[in-house]
């Protein structure tokens, strides 16, 4: 029952010259039929957005950067910090919740109409937006160690 499609891009001299769709699981028509019921089509918009976010926040993944990590461990550390920042610290506009009553702002500007929300809040892992300081100071419990018999 799994339907899975792949978009294959052929690039020459940094220009897209050909775009083809390939059905990995299921048939091309079955995939297009299911997506059409939602008004969607096979594309790379979501994964391209994720790739851009990672490139902007993890220097080792960005293109043409001078700050490369010195091995796999450095890359893993940068991606782990980005992952926690993205899910616990960075509020997402698409997840924000409307307030029942607008809250006045101290500076006298327009009233606060939305409650910021992070993916961790939406998943029920936390009840607030964390600060980066809280993330860096959080004490991670040790992983369960195998029991010696």
Band the pLDDT of 37: cuts 50, 70, 90. very high
In this prediction the pTM is 0.66
Query: Phi and psi of 44, rounded to 5°?
Result: -115, 15
Q: Specify the pLDDT at position 147.
A: 72
Residue 117 has pLDDT above 90, yes or no: yes
- Condensed to tens digits (0 to 9), the pLDDT of residues 40-78 reads 888 888 888 888 888 888 877 776 666 666 778 888 888
Half-sphere exposure of residue 109: CA atoms within 13 angstroms, side-chain side: 4
**What is the number of alpha carbons within 13 Å of residue 149 lying toward its C-beta?**
0
Q: Domains of the chain: which residue ranges? A: 1-42
- Where is pLDDT greater, at 86 or 99? 86
Least confident of 31-35, 51-55, 64-68, 121-125: 64-68
CA distance 82 to 55: 10
pLDDT digits (tens, 9 = 90+) for 136-145: 998 887 777 6
User: Which pair of tokens denotes residue 92?
Assistant: 């997402």
Query: CA-to-CA distance for 99 and 95, rounded, in angstroms?
Result: 13
DSSP H/E element including 57: helix 45-57
8 vs 19: CA distance, rounded Å = 6
Q: Give me the sign of the Cα torsion angle 35, 39, 45, 49.
A: negative
Which residues 6+ apart lie within 8 Å of 68 measured at CB? 59, 60
Confidence at residue 68, expressed as pLDDT on a 0 to 100 scale = 62
Query: Do strands 112-115 and 97-103 pair parallel, antiparallel, or not at all (unpaired)?
Result: antiparallel
Q: Residue for token digits 């100071």? A: 137
Confidence at residue 60, expressed as pLDDT on a 0 to 100 scale: 78
Backbone angles phi, psi at 19, to 5 degrees: -130, 120
């Amino acid at each position: 029952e799994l339907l899975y499609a792949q978009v294959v891009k052929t690039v020459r001299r940094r220009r897209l010259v050909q775009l083809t769709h390939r059905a990995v699981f299921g048939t091309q028509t079955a995939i297009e039929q299911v997506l059409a019921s939602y008004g969607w089509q096979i594309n790379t918009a979501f994964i391209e957005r994720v790739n851009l976010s990672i490139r902007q926040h993890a220097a080792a993944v960005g293109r043409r950067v001078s700050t490369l990590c010195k091995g796999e461990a450095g890359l893993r550390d940068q991606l782990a910090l980005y992952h926690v920042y993205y899910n616990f610290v960075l509020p997402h506009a698409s997840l924000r919740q409307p307030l029942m009553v607008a809250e006045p702002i101290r500076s006298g500007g327009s009233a606060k109409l939305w409650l910021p929300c992070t993916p961790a809040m939406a998943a029920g892992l936390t009840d607030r937006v964390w600060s980066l300081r809280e993330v860096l100071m959080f004490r991670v419990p040790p992983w369960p160690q195998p029991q010696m018999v």
